[in-house]
Amino acid sequence: MPNALNASTVDKAAQTAEKAVPTVEKAAQNVDKAAPTADPVKQATAALMQWRKDWENRDFERFSAHHAAEFRVEGADRERFLERKRAIFEHRPWHRIRLSEVLWIVDGSNPTRLTVQFVQDYESAAWSERSRKEQRWAREADGWRLIGEQEAPLPDPVGSRRAAR
């Protein structure tokens, strides 16, 4: 009987399979972590929506966590930018942020870097502004982070209010 299996062969095969289970489970976890590469726009969109929510909720710690160490805006580094935002969070009891006309730009050669353009409507008790914003996002080990942004004001909607920032 050339294909016969004895108990020893079956035991060895079972032991080998049991040893492989943790390796397979670890590989599955790594696939889950790498999933953003499967659909980077979907993952980055979720990060963008969380950024908006954390900003609107005035959750400074969570808001600041969306900004990578390399973040730059208008010549300011991350720390200077966040100092300014902290002051806004502290002095404005509420604000509302709406995003529309969201368009992602994907560089096919580098799916770990994405650019998003959108119209942002910002409103608070002291300030109202409509602007076109462009943000650059990068995928890091633990998720998508902002690495830069540019903003250009758009004409004020009827009835908007502007005040000193």
At residue 39, what are phi and psi to the nearest 5 degrees?
-145, 80
pTM across the whole model: 0.72
pLDDT tens per residue across span 91-138: 989 999 999 999 999 988 888 999 999 999 999 988 899 999 999 999
CA 137 – CA 128 distance, rounded (Å): 26
- Name the one residue in this structure whose structure tokens are 């929510």: 53
| pLDDT more than 90, % of the chain | 61
27 pLDDT higher than 80: no
- Name the one residue in this structure whose structure tokens are 């903003």: 151
| Radius of gyration from C-alpha coordinates of the chain | 24
| pLDDT more than 70, % of the chain | 72
Give mean pLDDT, residues 72-85: 95
CATH of domain 39-153: 3.10.450.50
